[in-house]
Amino acid sequence: MEDAYPLPGTLLLSKNRSNPDFAPIQTYRLRGCATKPIQKIVLENGVELPPQPLPDKDQSFLLRILHFNDFHGQITRLKEHQNDAVLSRMVTCIEKTRNTINNDPNAEMLVLSGGDELEGSLFEQLLSDGQEPVHSSYRLYSEMGVNAAVLGNHDLDRGIRQLASSIRRDARFPILAANIITPPEFNDCIDPAALFVMNSYRIAIIGLLTQGEAILQCNDEVQVTDPLEAAQNLVPLLRPLSDAIVLLTHLGRSQCDDGHAGATVGQIGDVELAQNLPPGSVDLIIGSHTHHALNEHGLSDENLINGVPILQAGAFGEYLGDATLHFSGDMLNRPKLTNVCLINLNGLKADPLFETQKIEPLARRARKIGQRSLGVVASGCGLDRDSICSIFGAGEFELANLITDGITAQCRSNGFLVDFSMIDRAAINDGLLPDSDLHYADWFRVMPHNDCIYLYTLEGSQLAQFLSDNAYRINRSDENDTERGFAQMSSEIRYRIERGKLRFKAKVHDITFSGVPLTQLQKRRYTVASTSFFRMLCRRWERDTTSSGVSLFNIHEVPCTPTSLSLRELMVEYLLRYGGVTPEAGARLDGRIKVH
């Protein structure tokens, strides 16, 4: 850990340790708090910035920026015998570009990542490997020459302490987020911005993290603040210090895209960010979070906002974004974006050495974890993914019964006084094969997201309102199947839904809690366990519904507290106790929801 840290209102510019394999680019870190107004930037003792280039109308400079985002650990798609390469295809493309750049004295390149690096794949389990923990993405990105990454909301899923350990151990490049506040002992891990110097040109990269979902992963130790305020604090000071400013964001494209790919955008996306910054203050926004594949064949007019181009490269390693900034030698104008596109990596030849020497050793370890036995999937307890999508929101569902009962039991065994539990479709990503062995990899496909367990507090009257609202969300055969957030609950709650002829005429009857009519428990307060992503996938439907004048129950206005428990690992312990997905574990129908 480094001792020097600037006083409030000051940023410290220090020289970053260079990745020895990619040394020509000089990297500087901007350290300090950017969530409050900044008066000045000071140089660390012994640090000097190279002078900016002198005007020369005959000498221009090209900066290629290759970018990707939301990899979610899809480093390689694990198969039993041979992997389906992903990251090593990208390495092929990056190395080809690097070779071209190396032959041009007036060109350079940066490789940037938009965050959400690991969550969602078995590789994340290597973080907990007691013998040799490793953040597979950070380590491999260092090997392939990534220059900087912005923090994504899911990068906080396992808490700031494990994230800090991963950064210190495996990331040989700056991790950026200007709008995050962490405890002082982690000041050396996350920076507001970085400055790259190449051919005397200075490129400032500012990182910004969404408030939309990061608050779900955070607790009192970590705060995520307004990204616009952080940008407004930084940009005026970096403008005279740099030749270009790039905002590397994990915000999502726009508020209008809230719910796209299940992502919550929050108060501000890239579009709103560009609209609220002074014209000409930044040169480029490279975004992520909403998994948009933008500008596949060139910059679209809809992605040029207030003069600022907005880029994003899909997700899961399908694309590599490619953008070129042209700096004129006369230095009279800021750089121009002269080329932008997405490179489709599907079908591209993988780098064989990177796959076999760098990725495969990690893949073997992840595969071994996936082979861990959890028991069996009993007859009649398995369903494919398509069946789950249609059945989950239609009424009682065996797998949902097992999961909700499991959450309740496991929370209680961990000392939390939970009355009942609830989940929506976000908790189940895939199905299971009946009459089969159950391995960790199988359950990981069901629950690839390491959602935190949250405890909600509901008054008796609120519980009645919540259940009435839940009846509005049930699937109906005469309407398209879309995610409306229908909740499944553990066995303590039982009730009957009368669908009626119209969705918002549905009613609930005969509600009981632990066998007692709810009408007799109006003054009781309930502690309800759910997940950090509960009712997130249905936000678009909720927005459209409320805009049409229908009032819905907003669970996010109810007091809630995060716990240290995670859904997937909680359920793994439960499945091991009962020998897998079995009727004894709760995978059966018991009449808790009746639909008429």
Backbone angles phi, psi at 459, to 5 degrees: -75, 165
- CA 59, CA 567: separation in Å to the nearest integer? 57
Q: Are strands 308-311 and 40-43 parallel, antiparallel or unpaired?
A: unpaired
Share of the chain above pLDDT 90, in %: 80
Reported confidence tier of residue 347, pLDDT bands at 50, 70, 90: confident
Q: Please check the confidence at residue 53 and state whether its pLDDT lies above 90.
A: no
- CA 196, CA 238: separation in Å to the nearest integer? 12
The secondary structure of residue 340, as a DSSP letter, is E
Sequence-ordered list of residues with C-beta below 8 angstroms from that of 3, at least 6 positions apart, any chain: none
pLDDT, average across residues 20-40: 88
Q: What residue segments make up the domains of the chain, in order of their start? A: 62-366, 372-595
- CA 326, CA 284: separation in Å to the nearest integer? 12
| Mean pLDDT of the residues in the chain | 92
Decide: 194 and 257 in contact? Cβ < 8 Å: no
Given the candidates 3.40.50.10860, 2.30.130.10, 3.40.50.410, 3.60.21.10, the CATH classification of the domain at 62-366 is 3.60.21.10
13 strand-pairing partners: 30, 43
Reported confidence tier of residue 23, pLDDT bands at 50, 70, 90: low
- Residue 8 confidence (pLDDT): 86
Decide: 196 and 202 in contact? Cβ < 8 Å: yes
Residue matched to tokens 């919540």: 466
Sequence-ordered list of residues with C-beta below 8 angstroms from that of 20, at least 6 positions apart, any chain: none
- Residue 531 confidence (pLDDT): 96
Backbone angles phi, psi at 138, to 5 degrees: -60, -40
- 30, containing H or E segment: strand 26-31
- Residue 261 confidence (pLDDT): 76
Decide: 83 and 363 in contact? Cβ < 8 Å: yes
Q: Closest Cα to residue 92, out of 362, 359, 361?
A: 359
Between 256 and 237, the more confident residue is: 237
The three-state secondary structure class of 1 is coil
- Residue 263 confidence (pLDDT): 83
- CA 206, CA 247: separation in Å to the nearest integer? 5
Strand segments, DSSP code E, in 244-365 are 244-250, 284-286, 304-305, 308-311, 319-327, 336-344
372-595 folds as 5'-nucleotidase;  domain 2 (3.90.780)
pLDDT one-digit tens code per residue, 240-288: 999 999 999 999 999 888 878 778 888 899 999 999 999 999 999 999 9
What is the model's pTM? 0.91
* Token pair of 91 as six digits: 């390495």
Q: Please check the confidence at residue 80 and state whether its pLDDT lies above 90.
A: no
- CA 318, CA 343: separation in Å to the nearest integer? 8
Q: Are strands 525-531 and 420-423 parallel, antiparallel or unpaired?
A: parallel
- Residue 2 confidence (pLDDT): 47
- CA 581, CA 557: separation in Å to the nearest integer? 34
- Residue 38 confidence (pLDDT): 95
pLDDT one-digit tens code per residue, 433-464: 999 999 999 999 999 988 999 999 999 999 99
Reported confidence tier of residue 1, pLDDT bands at 50, 70, 90: very low
Q: Please check the confidence at residue 21 and state whether its pLDDT lies above 70.
A: no
Point out the least confidently predicted range of 114-128, 217-231, 497-511, 523-537.
217-231
Q: Are strands 319-327 and 61-68 parallel, antiparallel or unpaired?
A: antiparallel
pLDDT, average across residues 378-382: 80
pLDDT one-digit tens code per residue, 476-496: 988 887 899 999 999 999 999
pLDDT, average across residues 163-185: 95
Share of the chain above pLDDT 70, in %: 96
Q: Please check the confidence at residue 561 and state whether its pLDDT lies above 80.
A: yes
Q: Please check the confidence at residue 56 and state whether its pLDDT lies above 80.
A: no
- CA 295, CA 341: separation in Å to the nearest integer? 6
* Token pair of 434 as six digits: 């009946």
pLDDT, average across residues 564-580: 96
Q: Please check the confidence at residue 215 and state whether its pLDDT lies above 60.
A: no
- Residue 81 confidence (pLDDT): 67
- Residue 557 confidence (pLDDT): 94
